[in-house]
Amino acid sequence: MIRILNSIIFYCFTIIFQFEIHPSNDLGNQIRQICILVFFCPGGTDTKQAPQRAAEPLMKIFHKAYVYLTCGPELLVFEEADNPRPDLQVPGGTLDPGESYLQGAIREFSEETGLTLDIALESFADQDHFIDNVPGILDGLHRRRHFHGTIPEKPADEWEHFEMTPSAGGAPIRFRLFWIDLFSEEAPPETRFFEGFGAQLEALRSRMEGQINGSR
């Protein structure tokens, strides 16, 4: 009887995971996490351990979208101008409820740069990155989708813009935006980028080389 019951439960669990849940659907993500806690945590269904597992906080998942905008061999980046030790970042941020990754990438890019994108963007990398106790950043799993777009001319070599609605709250943040040549000897290393944003550089360079050489 127990074996039959376990089979039924496992079947229901697989059905839940087959549904396509929208990135901004926190309820759907919480259902999946609860299923993982119930069916896969050590201790099985021991009722003595169940209250302890139920009391553990679920990991918050934030769906993010970012734009790697290039012009020739150069990539648009920014740093927080009032941060004494700023790391390099790329424009993007948290999806609003109901947004697709592409919609969120375009909106966040505009909010953080002051520019309007009227070009095609192509997704080229997905990334799960855990944030824990980083000042000004939401703790949890950041599920990122990275987009690449190219423009024929730079709007400016350098400028400043304020992020008026930081995702973690607080006062507006002043950004200094500029371009870096990813193919020069002085190109910053992956470690110079903030919280894993440099992990996509090699894939991005490969795409850029193809575009610059006219093979794409």
What are the tens digits of pLDDT across the range 56-88? Answer: 568 899 999 999 999 999 999 999 999 988 999
The residue among 55, 79, 94 that closes a domain is 55
Residues in the chain: 216
CATH of the domain at 104: 3.90.79.10
Are 81 and 146 found together in one domain?
A: yes
Given a cut of 90, whether residue 4 has pLDDT beyond it is no
pLDDT of residue 105: 98
pLDDT of residue 46: 41
Are 66 and 133 found together in one domain?
A: yes
Given a cut of 50, whether residue 202 has pLDDT beyond it is yes
Are 126 and 88 found together in one domain?
A: yes
* Bridge partners, 193 (sequence order): 88
Are 180 and 75 found together in one domain?
A: yes
Are 207 and 132 found together in one domain?
A: yes
Are 92 and 17 found together in one domain?
A: no
Given a cut of 60, whether residue 200 has pLDDT beyond it is yes
Are 142 and 132 in contact by the 8 Å Cβ rule? The answer is no
Distance CA 189, CA 208 (A): 17
Which contacts (CB < 8 Å, 24+ apart) does range 95-99 have?
95/23, 95/24, 95/63, 95/64, 95/65, 96/24, 97/24, 98/22, 98/24, 99/24
pLDDT of residue 17: 41
The residue among 13, 30, 55 that closes a domain is 55
Query: Which structural domain range is residue 160 located in?
Result: 61-212
CA distances from 127 to 1, 66, 81, 175, 195 (A): 43, 11, 26, 24, 11
Are 38 and 13 in contact by the 8 Å Cβ rule? The answer is no
107 vs 39, higher pLDDT: 107
pLDDT tens track for 43-55: 444 434 444 555 5
Give the number of domains in the chain.
2
Are 33 and 93 found together in one domain?
A: no
Are 127 and 154 in contact by the 8 Å Cβ rule? The answer is no
Are 188 and 115 in contact by the 8 Å Cβ rule? The answer is no
pLDDT of residue 26: 53
Are 81 and 177 found together in one domain?
A: yes
pLDDT of residue 85: 86
Are 31 and 120 found together in one domain?
A: no
The residue among 13, 28, 55 that closes a domain is 55
Are 31 and 70 found together in one domain?
A: no
Are 105 and 179 found together in one domain?
A: yes
Are 89 and 22 found together in one domain?
A: no
Given a cut of 70, whether residue 113 has pLDDT beyond it is yes
Are 64 and 95 in contact by the 8 Å Cβ rule? The answer is yes
Q: What is the pTM of this model?
A: 0.74
pLDDT of residue 136: 86
- With CA atoms as reference, report the closest residue to 147 among 168, 126, 169: 126
